[in-house]
Chain A
């Protein structure tokens, strides 16, 4: 697959080609080169619901305007999540049952089971541990020399937070990152050598958590996710359904991993690109509250979600056929000037900063959205206490993906507060 993609001519200018059924925005290289913006600008203004009949992911519709995306997201009776939520298809024979890729009624039942673990009441109880660990990490960072923000801070903080949520053995926390990477690895990513290895590692994940689950069953009273699952009325027998147990674990690990990681990095990049906003923030740290959702909008950590039409439907004047793949490009809707004022500006004091598409809307709306916001708020509060400036000193390296919108490298120099 990757070889075909690499040998086709690649022109990052969307105005150099006709806007027809070959106009294909689902090219990972566009995102890696940060060249996708103009493609979506063109689609939004000239063909907001656009059919591409040929891509490495097969034919698909692109939905690019805020309101049309909202319409797809809120009509789950027409636009189904069953079978997968990214443009790329999953291997048929090893699909973990996860409610993110299910329709009602099973989706609703399963989400209800785990959603109390990220309820605001529980988040409050986890806040102090997350803060202590974040503070410890930031205190140990070298100042005045170039470091990779992604590796030193974003990945490490996110991993620590995951370990805190699960009360996972802290020294073994990088296993969580590994399982997240393995679970989402594509064939060409090189993360695993074979499908067999992937299954083997995920099986180890299941075994590890089965032991933890048993241990917590015998020892109630903690606030971590596994203790809650081990004692929850509808989850205490989860070990009898190992694939469902593994599916839910992976969903919680993956859901909060890349997304939060790339929001942490994205915030630093945005403040450097909009220095006046950084000044505002330094003058008034209270703006963290409105800055956090703005970071999540600006970054849009997941570029799209996909659906499949169950019946024929009309959308934005186009005829969608039953069975068609429909891709909601959140990354585009979040730059739609008809819905968001000055959408290309990063503005940390917007009046309604939460009105963005990054968490989706409707029954699949991100279950961890308050958790994600809390994590970012804590991190920024602790950063501002310590550093006067996180200076970006080079170009970021972006990830090769049409789904995860993020970074593998961001060189920075930390300047401590005087």
Chain B
């Protein structure tokens, strides 16, 4: 289990108790958190589950895979801390994780 905080572009915060085995994307969808589209359903092939990971959490979350990197690259708004949330599995280590949602998904 991990507590994850999603911050909308307008500043609205939602805290969710996420289950291990889920992903940051699926947790958002299951809890009807707006701002993540996830068109491909978690296949790392649409890049519409883009989140900006709180810089303090970057190390724990880790680096994107090659495929994720390629998909992230399609987004002109990509930042240093951009990740695809379907590629971040929920684990105990991520308890307290904060992710920011972008204004738009592509």
Shortest C-beta distance, B51 to chain A (Å), equals: 16
Instruction: Say yes or no for B63: interface residue by CB 8 A criterion.
Output: no
A355 CA / B74 CA spacing, docked (Å): 19
Contacts of A73 in B (CB 8 A): 45
Does A125 sit at the interface, judged by CB under 8 A? no
Q: Which residues of B contact A359 (CB under 8 A)?
A: 39
Chain B 38-81 near chain A by CB (<8 Å), digits 1 or 0: 01110111111000000000000000000100110110110000
Q: Does B10 contact A (CB under 8 A)?
A: no
The reply to whether B45 and A119 contact each other, CB–CB distance below 8 Å, is no
Contact B45–A120 (Cβ < 8 Å):
no
Question: Does chain B have a CB within 8 A of A217?
Answer: no
Chain A residues within an 8 Å CB radius of B71:
362-363
Bound together, the chains give a CA A336 to CA B26 distance in angstroms of 23
Interface range for A:
20 to 34
B75 closest partner in A (C-beta): A115
A108, B104: Cβ atoms closer than 8 Å: no
Q: How far is the CA of A120 from the CA of B77 in the complex (A)?
A: 10
Q: Which residues of B contact A83 (CB under 8 A)?
A: none
Contact with A121, one of B39, B67, B74, B104 (Cβ below 8 angstroms): B104
Contact (Cβ within 8 A) A365 B46 = yes
Chain A residue nearest to B78 (CB atoms) is A112
Contact in complex: A361, B40 (CB < 8 Å): yes
When the two chains form their complex, are residues A115 and B74 in contact, meaning their CB atoms are under 8 A apart? yes
> Are A119 and B41 CB-contacts (below 8 A) given A74-B67, A363-B70?
no
State the main secondary structure of chain B at its contact with A: loop
List the 4 closest pairs (A to B, CB-CB), nearest first.
A120-B104, A361-B45, A354-B39, A74-B45
Q: A362 and B106: CB pair below 8 A?
A: no
Give the complex CA separation of A60 and B45 in angstroms.
25
Contacts of A352 in B (CB 8 A): 41
A residues adjacent to B (C-beta < 8 A): 70, 73-74, 104, 108, 111-112, 115-116, 119-121, 352, 354-355, 359, 361-363, 365, 369-370
- 17 residue pairs from A and B, CB less than 8 Å apart: A73-B45, A74-B43, A108-B70, A108-B74, A112-B76, A115-B74, A119-B77, A120-B104, A354-B37, A354-B39, A355-B40, A355-B41, A359-B39, A365-B46, A365-B47, A365-B74, A369-B106
A181–B22 Cα gap in the complex (Å)? 47
Give complex CA distance A120, B39 in Å. Answer: 16
* A121 partner residues in chain B, CB cutoff 8 A: 103-104
Residues of A close to B70: CB separation below 8 A? 104, 108, 363
